[in-house]
Amino acid sequence: MSLAFDHVTLGQRVLFGSGKAAENVAAEAARLGAARVMVIASDRESGIAKAVTAGIEVALVHDDVAMHVPVETAERARAAAKEAGVDLMVCVGGGSTTGLAKAVALTTGLPIVAVPTTYAGSEATNVWGLTAGARKTTGVDDRVLPVTVVYDAALTVTLPVDLSVASGLNGLAHCIDSLWAPRADPINAAMAAEGIRALASGLPAIGAEPSALAGREQALYGAYLSAVAFASAGSGMHHKICHVLGGTFNLPHAQTHATVLPYVLAFNAPAAPEAAARIAAAFGAEDALEGLQALRKKLDAPRALADYGFTEDGIAEAVAVALPAIPESNPRSVTEASLAAILRAALTGADPKTLAYELD
């Protein structure tokens, strides 16, 4: 069978090295000729941010960071950047922090050097997201892609194991969704499979020895691959559902992705046998869902949306908002009833194997 596809690889510099974040950030600021640097980091990450930026002149430290990037939060950051005459942003933190830097770049064109402290992967995509009126809007714009990502596993050691697990499973969701997203192709599929392998190796190592760097390096590497695959393939069914749950119901990003993932996999895998086989092989398992569930059991992963505040009353609204956004290219047709069944199962943490049979 001949190959035919259209693949775009985003241009971005990646500097990877444990214990080298401050050195690499200083080198990038110098390379970019930055004179007025804005550091974006939440209060929780302030100590790490100070250490990471110790080698550069900082014009402004901005710590007004919020989950899902409310428009009002973005506007305040944009105004602060303009007032300070900023010419470079250095964001230190997880997806919310990176998302805020992207929101500023979206309207200003300011370059970003991203220093991730979680496994969110947002730093390697040109996807932005903003929330207004309980609705999360996402888009694609090359202006928001950080020019450089500085990965340093030592910065993730303080991330608790439970949050590391949720964040890493969010990365796994990027990988799995990439295999049937609208622009899926053999190149991003190869990156997604390697991302699954790296995360499935790194996350249990973090659980076994949280202060060791080897597992965290694998998780960061896997998170990067997951994001690159996602940026190329686009947003699939899983992400459309989770963006609604986050933006409309303010559920925590990583935990929501970690919880919903097995249900979308159970739904789509029977209709996408090649993707399912690739996922299974990446897990080293006979079956894609069994491989994911074995990993989730080992990690004591997030289990039910009810644990994060979602209720039965929200299912109808979630279905109404999410259903029109699910790509037509999804391998299996999605109806109101099937989407409601997925959300109901995720709400309670029901066995996804049961879900697969019920929806046949």
Which candidate, 40, 147, 27, 141, places its Cα nearest to that of 86?
40
Tokens of 121: 């992967």
HSE-CB of 318 using CA atoms within 13 angstroms: 30
Q: In degrees rounded to 5, what are phi and psi of residue 255? A: -65, -35
297 in a structural domain: yes
| CA–CA distance, 278 with 179 (Å, rounded to integer) | 9
105, with CB counted inside 10 A (0-12, 13-18, 19+), is: buried
62 close to 91: Cβ distance less than 8 angstroms = no
User: What residues pair up with 55 in beta bridges, in sequence order?
Assistant: none
Same-domain pairing of 217 and 143: no
Of the three residues 93, 127, 156, the one that is the final residue of a domain is 156
Tokens of 124: 């390697």
Per-residue pLDDT of the chain (360 residues; tens, 9 = 90+): 578 989 888 899 999 999 999 999 999 999 999 999 999 999 999 999 999 999 999 999 999 999 989 999 999 999 999 999 999 999 999 999 999 999 999 999 999 999 999 998 999 999 999 999 878 888 999 999 999 999 999 999 999 999 999 999 999 999 999 999 999 999 999 999 999 999 999 999 999 999 999 999 999 999 999 999 999 999 999 999 999 999 899 999 999 999 999 999 999 999 999 999 999 999 999 999 999 999 999 999 999 999 999 999 999 999 999 999 999 999 999 999 999 999 999 999 999 998 876 776
* pLDDT of res. 360: 64
Same-domain pairing of 144 and 203: no
Same-domain pairing of 138 and 195: no
Tokens of 325: 């956004």
88-93 vs 58-62, strand pairing mode: unpaired
In the chain, how many domains are there?
2
Q: Any idea what the CATH number is for the domain that residue 146 is in? A: 3.40.50.1970
Same-domain pairing of 172 and 135: no
6 in a structural domain: no
| CA–CA distance, 277 with 79 (Å, rounded to integer) | 49
CB pairs under 8 A, 24+ apart, for 311-315? Answer: 311/347, 312/344, 312/347, 314/248, 314/249, 315/340, 315/343, 315/344, 315/347
Of the three residues 89, 121, 156, the one that is the final residue of a domain is 156
286 in a structural domain: yes
Same-domain pairing of 106 and 172: no
For tokens 């996999």, the residue is: 265
Distances (CA, A) of 265 to 178, 297, 342: 12, 16, 10
Same-domain pairing of 168 and 266: yes
| CA–CA distance, 207 with 300 (Å, rounded to integer) | 10
| CA–CA distance, 101 with 95 (Å, rounded to integer) | 10
Q: Any idea what the CATH number is for the domain that residue 176 is in? A: 1.20.1090.10
| CA–CA distance, 143 with 112 (Å, rounded to integer) | 9
Same-domain pairing of 350 and 229: yes
* pLDDT of res. 133: 84
Same-domain pairing of 68 and 171: no
Same-domain pairing of 125 and 219: no
H helices then E strands: how many in the chain? 14, 8
34 in a structural domain: yes
208 in a structural domain: yes
Same-domain pairing of 294 and 187: yes
For tokens 């500023």, the residue is: 104
Instruction: Name the residue type at position 104.
Output: V
Same-domain pairing of 283 and 184: yes
Tokens of 116: 């991730």
User: What residues pair up with 137 in beta bridges, in sequence order?
Assistant: 130
Of the three residues 156, 185, 204, the one that is the final residue of a domain is 156
Burial 133-172 (b: 16+ CB within 10 A, else e): eeebeeeeeeebbbbbbbbbbebbbebeeebbbbbbbbbb
Same-domain pairing of 149 and 171: no
Q: Residue 273 is part of which domain span?
A: 161-358
311, with CB counted inside 10 A (0-12, 13-18, 19+), is: exposed
* pLDDT of res. 119: 93
218 in a structural domain: yes
Tokens of 198: 């790296």
333, with CB counted inside 10 A (0-12, 13-18, 19+), is: exposed
For tokens 């303009």, the residue is: 82
4 in a structural domain: no
Distances (CA, A) of 331 to 179, 275, 326, 339: 10, 10, 11, 14
Q: Is the CA virtual torsion 221, 178, 120, 82 positive or negative?
A: positive
17 in a structural domain: yes
